[in-house]
Chain A
Amino acid sequence: MRLSAIGRTAVTAGLLLAAAACGGREDPGAGAGATTAAGGCQGQQTTGITDTGIKLGGIYPLSGPASAYGAIPKGIKAYFDYVNAEQNGIGGRKVEFVVRDDGYQPPKAVEEARRLVEQEQVFALFQTLGTPSTTATWDYAGQRKVPQVFVATGASKWGTDTRHPWTIGWQPNYVSEARVYAQYLKQERPDAKVAVLYQNDDFGKDLLGGFRKAIEGSGITVVAEQSYEVSDPSVDPQMRNLAQSGADVLLNVTTPRFGSQALAADARNTKWNPLHIVNNVAASITVLRPVGFENVQGVVSATYYKDPVDPQWENDPEMTLYRAKLKQYAPDADPSVPYHAFGWAVASSFHKTMEAAKCPTREGLRDSMRNLSGVEVGMLLPGVTMSTGPDDGFPIESMRLMRFKGERWELFGEVIDTRREFGPLTAD
């Protein structure tokens, strides 16, 4: 044990030295157009930001298999257009948001990140989407000292990693989500026997690992787990094997098509009726509708932002504003699509983070995004706020459970703050 601890310290020290050496060698502001600030923020980078404007770059899969997420930048653009036209931008600075398409391919994401930073001279990368694309670009963002703000992926490494201070996530990470389900089971089914279906990659393992850890020391046990590959035609065989386990809870950690298959397989099997928990990634209404709403009644999931089709937000001021402004600035976008609301929420989160920055510089934004304290964002659920700190790289760590009823999700229970219930999340 001691040896390995020493080894780890040595490795960390070595890495720090290497990082310092790199930092010393490379001038972060190198390249045409790079500028720095004067006064109290002296020497800090002001590339892409002036007194009247701020330029942001986002990378999304506008084409290819994940292009459904291409709806997110539409919501973001609508928000910034609204802020530019009606509030004179963020603190007097009009936002220019440049969107690039990576087709969900990491090499293309790197290429686009370079173009945004070196040719477009953006102030910050505001969202890269997906764990693979973000993993491919965060080293680059760190080397160039460009903030990579609120990346749209739930991997826990954005927060546990300490070598990429310029990159930060936003949405609750998969481990936090797993903790929410664990907390729910501890209260509702303290002796639950859980069967897990998970995608055999970083995403599935992150959530499953988090769940296993969160149930340690409780009466809950994982009695069966089955993985699938994204190249599998169907998860029916896995579901059959899980059904034989006699578990009374099914944790469904899948992406959309496999989520539909698993929900349908569960509905078909009338002899096995576990409590079905489906993870947020596959909890979209577009996943449930093909299965038939009558087959997914009582399914449980968790969320953190307001669903535009939930009637309880009908008179909510933020939702009213969102509907009106989306209609005005993105007339072809359907406000009931949750990805637009997601974009709106993350854009207003950026607005607040930028406003709170002490210096209008890249360093100022980096420090601000790592020093959020109970920031309220209108599109997030009441009670869900953004907090970060020196030992907390996760802006949102609270979620609320929801149950499918009729033709939509219905929230229930209190907001679960996973940091308070389970303590900080660390890498290991």
Chain B
Amino acid sequence: MAGFLQQVIEGLGAGAIYASLALALVLIHRFTGIVNFAQGELAMFSTYVAWQFTAAGLPFWAALPLTLAVSFAGGMLIERVVIRPVEGAPELTVVIVTVGLFIFVNAAAGWIWSFLIKDFPNPFPVGAVEAGGLTVSHSTLGVLAVVGAVMGLLYLLFRHTKVGLGMRAVAADPVSARLVGVRVGRTLALGWGLAATVGAVSGVLVAPLLFLEPNMMGGVLIYAFAAATLGGFDSPGGAVVGGLVVGVAETLAGAYVGFVGSDLKVGVPLAVILCVLLLRPQGLFGRAAVERA
């Protein structure tokens, strides 16, 4: 039993990582109505920025706010330069642009920082909490806490601010939103900036665990998509629950379901995505789009 619970804890740890990136995916979807395939690579790029600050001698806690600021500005810049020209185009066009952005950002990071692994400082102390035969590392607790905090902030933003209201209006119907005076362009840019910031938090959290190199977020992105689909692409709480469920399911399947093992573990997120889309397309916590007749 202790072994099983330990696997669940490890699954929660992995799930927290997926949830952190899923939050960024949810955020940008709420603001702009698109799915951003480049979100993971942007997070990776932000992590390199943070690494550059620490390599230049800044302490971690000074580098972090700087990185978040740079990421916010960078996200808005990308929206302005890359996304704005295709703003009115069909969703598919925008999604394809984000795929191109994925490839470009990955190559750019390799070009600037090389594909050698960088060591990234761990913001959390080394060691683990032990209780009743179970161990939870400080890193896992730290990641869970940060993910919870980001989730709470996003909830407040979505539900209790004017920005959140405008943003929901833009995502639902940009033309009507513009007619009632919402500044659509600024809202979209804000969405990209905030999503890049949340992504940067995710990258900085996972870099000490996964080791920083340009392909670090590729695998995480797949699981984050599964998490966001499961929880619902418009619900931050759903993204976190989705991430944790995917993490635990993947870990338990790898450990206890013989034929899955380590080989087929990557199939778990696919199965999750498929089942959710078939049974409850809006996700566990998402709201189905309703149109008034």
A-to-B contact residues, CB < 8 Å:
63-68, 200, 226-229, 231-234, 236-238, 240-241, 244, 256-257, 260-261, 264, 268, 286-287, 289-292
CB-contacts of B122-142 with A (<8 A): 137
Chain A residues within 8 Å of B220, by CB: 233
A–B Cβ pairs within 8 angstroms, 25 of them: A64-B110, A65-B110, A68-B115, A68-B116, A227-B262, A229-B263, A231-B219, A233-B14, A236-B10, A236-B209, A237-B251, A238-B254, A240-B10, A241-B254, A241-B262, A256-B116, A257-B210, A257-B211, A257-B215, A260-B117, A260-B211, A290-B118, A290-B119, A290-B211, A290-B212
Instruction: Indicate whether B255 reaches chain A with its CB closer than 8 angstroms.
Output: yes
Chain A residues within 8 Å of B111, by CB: 63
> In the complex the two chains form, what is the Cα distance from A24 to B263 in whole Å?
46
Quote the shortest CB–CB distance from A209 to chain B (angstroms): 16
> In the complex the two chains form, what is the Cα distance from A241 to B7 in whole Å?
10
> In the complex the two chains form, what is the Cα distance from A234 to B247 in whole Å?
12
> In the complex the two chains form, what is the Cα distance from A80 to B116 in whole Å?
27
Quote the shortest CB–CB distance from A290 to chain B (angstroms): 3
> In the complex the two chains form, what is the Cα distance from A259 to B3 in whole Å?
25
Quote the shortest CB–CB distance from B116 to chain A (angstroms): 5
B-to-A contact residues, CB < 8 Å:
3, 7, 10, 14, 17, 107, 110-111, 114-120, 137, 206, 209-216, 218-220, 222-223, 250-251, 254-255, 261-263, 265-266
Chain A residues within 8 Å of B117, by CB: 256-257, 260, 286-287, 290
Quote the shortest CB–CB distance from A338 to chain B (angstroms): 12
> In the complex the two chains form, what is the Cα distance from A200 to B265 in whole Å?
12
Beta-carbon contact of A234 and B209 below 8 Å: yes
Beta-carbon contact of B219 and A232 below 8 Å: yes
Beta-carbon contact of B115 and A66 below 8 Å: yes
The 5 closest A-B pairs by CB, nearest first: A290-B119, A233-B219, A260-B211, A233-B220, A286-B116
> In the complex the two chains form, what is the Cα distance from A49 to B143 in whole Å?
62
Q: A257-B215, A292-B119 are in contact. List 10 more A-B contacts (CB 8 A).
A: A64-B107, A67-B115, A68-B114, A200-B263, A226-B262, A229-B266, A231-B266, A241-B262, A257-B210, A261-B210
Query: Contacts A237-B14, A290-B117; is A227 near B210 (CB within 8 Å)?
Result: no
Q: In the complex, which of the residues B216, B218, B255, B263 contacts A241, with contact meaning CB atoms closer than 8 Å?
A: B255
Chain B residues within 8 Å of A257, by CB: 117, 210-211, 213, 215-216
Q: In the complex, which of the residues A64, A233, A238, A289 contacts B223, with contact meaning CB atoms closer than 8 Å?
A: A233
> In the complex the two chains form, what is the Cα distance from A68 to B116 in whole Å?
7
Beta-carbon contact of A67 and B110 below 8 Å: yes
> In the complex the two chains form, what is the Cα distance from A297 to B158 in whole Å?
50
Quote the shortest CB–CB distance from A405 to chain B (angstroms): 20
